[in-house]
Chain A
């Protein structure tokens, strides 16, 4: 309903909505191209520095705003890029194996990028697996280390730095003037901007967007979240490195000062002030902070009567206020002023369907848990639990609150590891395996506490389920070479959304759905992975009568197609009318197993539910 109302109310305001994103973008590009032709030299230089900062901040938008990781050490990566090219293009005593680079800035750029990628991979493999706050602390530490290294290495000129860096040549044309260099800087920025934007709107991009608040879900859908974190960490580092390279050839001189920790903090501020969730936020943030810094450095010493970097006071206070009052930064506020109409995503119905795994024959044993025990210290959450599900069968796992049903689900799906016991999925032992591995084998699940990405559309959320059915990686996504596969994924996701009856909400934000509908969305997402076993954790909770009927209908149809379903549910009418067999748990143990009719008469079950009759 929401979407309909919105489209209806939008219709009478055609003036505002006629501005498409393309118009705004076109205007921006024209202004950008014209700027150095009309602006005085001072402002062109300022724009050059804004561009350099924006390139670094862009990486942080990806890392912090989208991926939920934070680095205070980006300035060190900038330094890595700058010093690599400075040394390679000025040193007279390059070792033999590097001699071929000598003097060529473009080869030095490649060398810098390779070196940065290596450093980032090493640092990332150490810190990225740890919970969130260790990474920023780690980045602070190596930000300082690299800074001191730059200042203390003889061959890098110590604190004095390196000078005499050659100017860049492009097709024989020397980029000496700021006005000319401007175009190179902004070409890099735009390149970074568009590749980042493309990446975020792709299979890998959805996985990256799931890192912030959706890691458990993403793993259950087959996303390798450690790899995704590494990817954005390396991308952010490479963008910083490129900015450093540009900086070195713009200044023609490097020393350690601009690569210290405080500058790294400033880059993070840019991303946060601009709006860390949006690629354009990087531009806004870089612009605001760079201009403000310039102005404050002139203005504040007059106020305080002495020299010193007093702008940090203003920056610090400003950051606290931004984070307390407008955590999404300035970009959303700016974007509101220009009402841009976003066209809804077009789903290509003619895209080739995704390949399906052959479904196992009816009656084949799909899941077998044998004597699974899970202890948390002294608490035995699951004790000696055994159950099995066949293809084309719906098994219910019921029991009073706190009986250990969800813990059992976590043991089966690899979210947790059993203390002892065995879980066989299609004959393969899977206990203790990563949940994404298990997902790859054809098990898919929903969560008791809904886990979806509220800011993404229903369609995109469902498409995460199809993660393992696509293969295009980061580079094809950045260069839009993944569109054929993307269309196929989107078609599949759309089919599943329609199938569970959420068609009218296809392009709504998932967070705007009612809780019951969010649960249904999770089923669509699970189906999108082409599973042969569905684990549903309380799918009917919060559903209205009609919706429950539709869900029963859907599950029956899936069953007739040979799907095995394991369902945890409290709604007994729903369970008893739907399932083939029931397993009852209490205090972590199985107390009964059988047909629904038998279970309803079982004295032990009645005792557990009603407390002895």
Chain B
């Protein structure tokens, strides 16, 4: 192994690490606000990537039908627990009219001729609304349940989404064209243009999230909910709104990381899970609470993965997931008294 290979592997690791960092941030966010351990985060990544691939191929992404189906479900749940005409009206608008309008729009658009940026926007428009819908259907009815119940529901949702993913995309994988084909020379090191896009986009997203949480009212509302849900509710912050907003953000992050990762590796309908779990390893390094530690953990996971794929590629996943053991051990040694589970 020489310096060049080290630099290559390092570059690979940091690129993947940036994606894991995004996922880890979303996981920490969702857990803090809703106490849901969001296993389906990876599915948003896969669906984003595969929707992007479908658009690139010039055909109508099947995810739009999944969106319509989920919308009907969400509308049904809203009708079932109706409170007022205004909420129903809004629910019809977002859960029924929006998906159908979007499908109609996609029908007339010349999909094959869209620019990369337009494709990204269309992908976001299709997949992201599924985040809040999913919260409405699966999690909002049991928002007060113990963490463990929420986790099992989360796993169940993940399974269902993988099944639907197979139905929508089939077993074949896809890889999209990079955002930039440029090659930059930094000394002896060749840096791919897409690598820079990934790292830049991650940084922009992280800074954007920071500004959102620090400067905006909704961001502060989410932070308040994360710290004390009952207190936030007493101050007029609706937990349901906080939940939907959180899932919206998680879906945005998931889809964008999918769009970013799709040119790096072939994505299959079930690839999201393993990638998402690596985000989890990072999030756990941050104790599911600290954003900077989670981001640092993500880079560590990315580097560990790229270097272990060089030395022992068959065992790379074993090595990455076993990393969690010493991390948990360290966490367990630093926690003392017996506490009640929530």
Contact = CB atoms under 8 A, between A and B. Distances in A.
A22 interface: no
A142 B159 CA distance: 19
B331 interface: yes
Given A68-B341, A142-B321, A323 B315 contact: no
B125 interface: no
A75 to B, nearest CB: 13
A367 interface: no
- SS class of chain B's interface: helix, strand, loop or mixed? helix
A132 B148 contact: yes
B231 to A, nearest CB: 17
B328 A127 contact: yes
A603 interface: no
Interface stretch (A307-315, A348-356, A501-509, A565-573): A307-315
Nearest to B313: A152
Contact of B163 (A64, A68, A313): A313
A609 interface: no
B52 interface: no
B155 A130 contact: no
Interface string B314-342: 11011001101100110110011111111
A216 B338 contact: yes
Contacts of A68: 148, 341
Given A140-B277, A219-B338, A320 B138 contact: yes
Nearest to A123: B325
Contact of B159 (A127, A213, A265, A435): A265
A126 interface: yes
A70 B156 contact: no
A225 B329 contact: no
Interface string A68-93: 10101000000000000000000000
B148 A136 contact: yes
A306 B171 CA distance: 10
A272 B322 CA distance: 28
A148 B148 contact: no
B152 A132 contact: no
B321 A144 contact: yes
Interface residues of B, number: 52
Given A137-B37, A316-B157, A323 B338 contact: no
Contacts of B321: 141-142, 144-145
Interface in A410-433: 415-417
A225 B332 contact: no
Contacts of A310: 163, 166-167
Nearest to B339: A131
B284 A137 contact: yes
Contacts of B317: 144-145, 148
B281 interface: yes
A324 B332 contact: no
A417 B338 CA distance: 12
A304 interface: yes
B318 A323 contact: no
A454 to B, nearest CB: 14
B323 to A, nearest CB: 8
Contacts of B37: 133, 136-137
Contact of A324 (B141, B284, B335): B141
A134 B153 contact: no
Given A312-B162, A319-B156, A133 B151 contact: yes
Interface in B15-37: 37
A534 to B, nearest CB: 21
A140 B317 CA distance: 12
Contacts of A269: 156
B156 A141 contact: no
A313 B159 CA distance: 6
Interface in A116-143: 123, 126-127, 129-134, 136-138, 140-142
25 contacts: A64-B148, A127-B328, A129-B335, A131-B341, A133-B147, A136-B37, A138-B325, A138-B328, A142-B321, A148-B317, A152-B318, A213-B341, A216-B338, A226-B338, A265-B155, A269-B156, A312-B159, A313-B159, A315-B156, A316-B159, A316-B160, A319-B156, A323-B145, A323-B156, A435-B338
Interface of A: 64, 68, 70, 72, 123, 126-127, 129-134, 136-138, 140-142, 144-145, 148-149, 152, 212-213, 215-216, 219, 225-226, 262, 265, 268-269, 272, 304, 306, 308-313, 315-320, 323-324, 327, 415-417, 435
Closest 4 CB pairs of A and B: A316-B160, A313-B163, A319-B156, A316-B159
